Amino acid sequence: MRSNRVGWLMLAPTIAILGIFGIVPFLYVLYVAFHQWNPFGANPYMIYNGADNFRRLVFDNEFLTSIAFTLKFAFFAVVSEVILGYLLAQLFMREFPGRGLFRTIHTLPLIVAPIVVGSVWRLMTTPSIGIIPYLLKSWFGYDLNIGRDATMAFALTVIMDIWHWTPLVTLTLLAALVSLPKEPFEQAQIDGANRWQIFWHVTLPMIRPAILATVFIRLMDALRTVDEVWMLTGGGPGAATRYLGLHIWKIVFPKTDYGYGSATSIIVLYLTLVMCWLLYVALVARRDQKRPS
Q: Which of 24, 27, 79, 129 binds another protein (CB under 8 A)?
A: 129
CB of 238 to another protein, least distance (A): 4
237 lies in the site for another protein, by CB under 8 A: yes
Sole window of 22-30, 124-132, 155-163, 202-210 interacting with another protein (rule: CB under 8 A): 124-132
Alpha-carbon distance of 243 to 123, in angstroms, equals 21
CB of 260 to another protein, least distance (A): 9
CB of 132 to another protein, least distance (A): 13
Evaluate whether 225 touches 78 at the Cβ level (below 8 Å). no
CB of 94 to another protein, least distance (A): 42
CB atoms within 10 A of CB 11: 11
Q: Which of 233, 262, 264, 265 binds another protein (CB under 8 A)?
A: 233
Closest CA to 109 of 85, 133, 86: 85
* C-beta closer to another protein: residue 99 or 148: 148
Q: Which of 7, 39, 50, 209 binds another protein (CB under 8 A)?
A: 39
Question: Buried (b) or exposed (e) across 169-201, using 16+ Cβ within 10 A?
Answer: bbbbbbebbeeeeeeeeeebeeeebeeeebeee
* C-beta closer to another protein: residue 41 or 205: 41
Q: What is residue 263's DSSP assignment?
A: H
What string marks each residue from 83 to 122 as x (binds another protein by CB under 8 A) or -? ----------------------------------------
Q: Which of 22, 50, 147, 209 binds another protein (CB under 8 A)?
A: 147
Where does residue 236 rank: exposed (0-12), middle (13-18), buried (19+ CB within 10 A)? middle
Q: Which of 53, 166, 203, 241 binds another protein (CB under 8 A)?
A: 241
44 lies in the site for another protein, by CB under 8 A: yes
Evaluate whether 156 touches 121 at the Cβ level (below 8 Å). yes
Distances (CA, A) of 239 to 66, 143, 214: 8, 21, 29
What string marks each residue from 243 to 262 as x (binds another protein by CB under 8 A) or -? -------xx-xxxxx-----
List 35's β-bridge partners, or say none. Answer: 48
Q: Which of 234, 269, 276, 280 binds another protein (CB under 8 A)?
A: 234
Evaluate whether 114 touches 221 at the Cβ level (below 8 Å). no
DSSP for 178-194, written as a single string: HTS-SHHHHHHHHTT--
Site for another protein in 47-66 (CB under 8 A): 62
Which residues of this protein are in contact with another protein, per CB under 8 A?
Answer: 38-44, 62, 126-129, 143, 145-148, 150, 233-239, 241-242, 250-251, 253-257
